[in-house]
Amino acid sequence: MFDRLTERLDDVFRKLRGQGRITERNIDESLREIRRALLEADVNFQVARSFLHAVRDKATGREVLRSLTPGQQMVKIVHDELVSLLGRQMEPVKLADHPPTVILLVGLQGCGKTTFAGKLALDFKKRGRPPFLVAADVYRPAADEQLRTLGGSIEVPVFGLAETGEDADPVEICRRGVEAARKSNRSVVILDTAGRLSIDDEMMDELVEIRALMHPHEILFVADSMLGQDAVETASRFYERLAFTGSVLTKMDGDARGGAALSIREVTGQPVKFICTGEGLEALETFHPDRIASRILGMGDVVSLVEKAEQVFDGEKAEKMEAKLRQEAFSFDDFREQLQAIKKMGPLDQLMGMIPGAGKTLKGVQLDDNAFVQVEAIINSMTAKERVQPQILNGSRRQRIARGSGTTVQDVNRLVKQFQSMQKMVKQMSRMKPGRMKMSMPFA
Ligand SMILES: Nc1nc2c(ncn2[C@@H]2O[C@H](COP(=O)(O)OP(=O)(O)OP(=O)(O)O)[C@@H](O)[C@H]2O)c(=O)[nH]1
Ligand SMILES: [Mg+2]
């Protein structure tokens, strides 16, 4: 998601680390490189400038200049400034004192409003707050149907033209939708509106009218992060008319350079509340500034990873795994079982980005999900004993396994090596935070 930016910043810090002493001159040079990295990631020009000012102020403080570990100090300063740029605190959706909470979604055409409506509904449902979806897009014939299909797939009721009659306008649909939600004791109502290709007055007027009538507790601006600076520009125009209360960045799984994520809060003054990382309804993450900053700096985001894992791993099994790991009895059999579970969690490269240091350790390793097929084939070609005691894998055994799995000895070597470095990483992580780490351990 922020791969390129992460790489560039890592270069800057590595250079600094290589220097015994830090001077104002090499701080200046680092700042210039950070600036270049930010602009390349499509961060808003002014946002980048004020960010660098803040970093410079702290970096030229005496502590850093005297420090023996300038690289680390800089990482910390940049991390803290990123957190503050991204909004410091996670800002949850504001819930109404008297339900239902009304959430209005706005944004340009195709930015992902309807998909996000489904994701948010599923999220509320999982947390025990019965949601209700309202299809207030009457312009695109398929819009109502799209939301109904999504709602149907997660068993959440959808209200739209079928309930109001064909000539209702969006304002009317919203009004009656909220009423219906209240009557049926739903706790959250999500109003999905129509998008336009570009900002036009008609659309804005309609949204302003819906806002005035419904007094939504949250107005979430949905932004396509692939649009980079254009998304940020659109956000400020929407903010002028609608004073939305938060934003959502979609398509963060694409090749977006991350600039929108880094600029939108600073430019609009409103927090980013969610990011979307895929088309499926599970691909939703709450936006935690500190975790995102860590991810950008290649420090990983173990907490999000654990949360994702908790959704797919069976708790009891995970505890057994943890015990095995502690006893160093984690085998290729367990590895294979974990791979199967990981496959359920989402695209591999996304997950890897959340593991501290994994970006570098696993660099060059093919993160294509098909790589699993090969890995499984290799493990399947091992004998039961080899899976449990990989240390007995000598040259001739490796050759046999390669033949059996239709791979090369190099492939087998690579897997064994990866397996060993995973064991090592897992051990380090389990020392860091016992208990809380258990779900993430098996595949770290
Ligand atoms: N890869 C990826 N695709 C997404 C994401 N969110 C939405 N999409 C896709 O983007 C396209 C548009 O999404 P919609 O939810 O229909 O967008 P919309 O804002 O409701 O569009 P309109 O109703 O036409 O204004 C669909 O093909 C979605 O599957 C995401 O986070 N990642
Ligand atoms: Mg839509």
DSSP of 322-381: HHHHHTT---HHHHHHHHHHHHTT--HHHHHTTSTTHHHHTTTS---TTHHHHHHHHHHT
* Percent residues over pLDDT 90 in the chain: 47
Going by C-beta distance under 8 Å and a sequence separation of 6 or more, which residues neighbour residue 33?
A: 8, 11, 12
Residue range 238-283, pLDDT digits in tens: 999 999 999 999 999 877 678 888 899 999 999 999 999 999 999 9
pLDDT confidence of 436, banded at 50, 70, 90? very low
Q: Burial, 104: exposed, middle or buried (Cβ in 10 Å; 0-12, 13-18, 19+)? A: buried
36 sits in the region (left: phi over 0; alpha: psi -120 to 50; else beta) called alpha
Query: Ligand 1, atom 31: nearest CA belongs to which residue?
Result: 251
Q: Burial, 127: exposed, middle or buried (Cβ in 10 Å; 0-12, 13-18, 19+)? A: exposed
Task: Name the residue with higher pLDDT: 196 or 185.
Answer: 185
Residue range 277-335, pLDDT digits in tens: 999 999 999 999 988 888 888 776 656 666 666 666 666 666 776 666 666 667 888 87
The token pair at 215 is 């007094």
pLDDT confidence of 441, banded at 50, 70, 90? very low
Q: CATH 3.40.50.300 region(s) of the chain?
A: 101-296
The three-class DSSP label of residue 245 is coil
Average pLDDT over residues 34-41: 91
251 vs 171: CA distance, rounded Å: 29
Distance 175 CA to ligand 2 centre (A): 19
Nearest to 46 by CA among 266, 269, 293: 266
Task: Name the residue with higher pLDDT: 243 or 369.
Answer: 243
116 vs 281: CA distance, rounded Å: 8
Q: CATH 1.10.260.30 region(s) of the chain?
A: 302-443
In terms of average pLDDT, the best of 69-83, 123-137, 322-336 is: 123-137
Angle subtended at Cα 93 by Cα 302 and Cα 270, rounded to the nearest 5 degrees: 90
- One-letter amino acid at 98 equals H
Task: Name the residue with higher pLDDT: 413 or 357.
Answer: 413
Query: Ligand 1, atom 14: nearest CA belongs to which residue?
Result: 112
> What is the topology classification, in CATH, of domain 3-86?
Four Helix Bundle (Hemerythrin (Met), subunit A) (1.20.120)
pLDDT confidence of 437, banded at 50, 70, 90? very low
Residue 424 has pLDDT above 50, yes or no: yes
Task: Name the residue with higher pLDDT: 83 or 312.
Answer: 83
Query: What was the pLDDT predicted at 279?
Result: 93
Mean pLDDT for the chain?
84
Does the C-beta of 250 come closer than 6 Å to ligand 1?
A: yes
| Ligand 1 atom index nearest CA of 137 | 23
Beta bridge partners of 249: 223, 275
pLDDT confidence of 348, banded at 50, 70, 90? low
Q: Burial, 49: exposed, middle or buried (Cβ in 10 Å; 0-12, 13-18, 19+)? A: middle
| Ligand 1 atom index nearest CA of 146 | 16
> What is the topology classification, in CATH, of domain 302-443?
434 Repressor (Amino-terminal Domain) (1.10.260)
Q: Which residues in 54-152 belong to E strands, given as ranges?
A: 101-106, 131-136
The token pair at 393 is 């894998």
Q: CATH 1.20.120.140 region(s) of the chain?
A: 3-86
Average pLDDT over residues 156-175: 93
Distance 436 CA to ligand 1 centre (A): 34
For 290-321, give one letter per residue: b (16+ CB within 10 A) or e: bbbbbbbbbbbbbbbbbbbbeeebeeeebeeb
Beta-carbon neighbour count of residue 269 at 10 Å?
Answer: 11
- Would you tell me which CATH number, out of the four given (3.90.950.10, 2.40.50.660, 3.40.50.300, 1.10.10.10), belongs to the domain 101-296? 3.40.50.300
Residue 432 has pLDDT above 60, yes or no: no
Indicate the DSSP class of residue 98.
S
pLDDT confidence of 433, banded at 50, 70, 90? very low
**What global pTM score does this model have?**
0.73
Q: Which of 106, 108, 115 to mutate to test the pocket of ligand 1 (most atoms within 8 A of CB)?
A: 115
Average pLDDT over residues 221-236: 92
- One-letter amino acid at 57 equals D
Residue 428 has pLDDT above 70, yes or no: no
Residue whose tokens read 């299809």 = 135
